[in-house]
Chain A
Amino acid sequence: MKPVDAPQRALSFGDHPPLSLPLRFFLSAPLFAALAAGLLAWHGAPALLTRWSPQTLAVTHLMVLGCLSMTMIGALLQLLPVVAGIQVPRAARVGAVVHACLCAGTLVLACAFWQDSPALFRVAMALLPGGLLLFVGVCTVAMWQYHLPGSGAVVAGIRLALAALVLTMTLGGMLASAFAWPGLIQLPLQRLTDLHAMWGMLGWVGLLVIAIAFQVAPMFMLTAPYPCHLTGAYATWMFLLLGAVSLSSGWSGRGALLHTTCAFLLAAGYALFGATTLHLLARRKRPRADPTTLYWCTAMASLLAAIGLWTWPSAASGATQLALGVLLVAGFALSAVCGMLYKIVPFLTWYHLQQLRETNGRKPPSISQIIPERHAQWQFGAHAAGLLLLLAACYQPALARPAAALMCAACLALWLNLGRAVRLYRQSRNAPNQHLSVPHYHE
Chain B
Amino acid sequence: MERRMSAVLDVGGLEPPEPMVRILEALDTLGPDEQLRVLIDREPVPLYSILQRNGYGHRTTAQQDHRYEVLIWLVPGA
Q: Which residues of B contact A83 (CB under 8 A)?
A: 42, 45
Contact B13 A82 (CB under 8 A): no
Chain B nearest Cβ from A342, distance in angstroms? 12
Cα-based distance from A83 to B45 in the complex (angstroms): 7
Known: A83-B45, A219-B16. A1 touches B64 (CB 8 A): yes
Contact A347 B17 (CB under 8 A): yes
Residue of A nearest to B13 (CB): A222
Cα-based distance from A81 to B53 in the complex (angstroms): 17
Residue of B nearest to A443 (CB): B53
Residues 1-25 of A contacting B (Cβ, < 8 Å): 1-5, 7-8, 11, 13-16
Contact B66 A150 (CB under 8 A): yes
Does any Cβ of A come within 8 Å of B2's Cβ? no
Contact B62 A1 (CB under 8 A): yes
Contact B60 A7 (CB under 8 A): yes
Residue of B nearest to A85 (CB): B45
* Of the residues A11, A15, A225, contact of B66 by C-beta under 8 Å: A225
Contact A16 B49 (CB under 8 A): yes
Known: A1-B63, A4-B61. A439 touches B28 (CB 8 A): yes
Residue of B nearest to A81 (CB): B45
Contact B45 A220 (CB under 8 A): no
A-B pairs with lowest CB-CB distance, top 3: A13-B49, A4-B60, A13-B52
B residues sitting closer than 8 Å to A (CB atoms) are: 13-18, 20, 24, 27-28, 30, 41-43, 45-46, 48-50, 52-54, 58-64, 66, 68
Q: List 26 A-B contacts (CB under 8 A).
A: A1-B61, A3-B59, A3-B61, A4-B62, A7-B43, A8-B48, A8-B58, A11-B45, A13-B49, A15-B49, A82-B45, A82-B46, A85-B43, A149-B62, A150-B62, A150-B66, A220-B15, A286-B13, A343-B16, A347-B17, A350-B17, A351-B17, A351-B46, A367-B16, A367-B17, A441-B54
A residues sitting closer than 8 Å to B (CB atoms) are: 1-5, 7-8, 11, 13-16, 81-83, 85, 148-150, 215, 218-220, 222, 225, 285-286, 343, 347, 350-351, 354-355, 358, 367, 439-441
* Given A11-B45, A347-B17, 9 further pairs, Cβ under 8 A: A4-B62, A13-B49, A16-B46, A149-B62, A150-B42, A150-B68, A220-B15, A351-B17, A441-B54
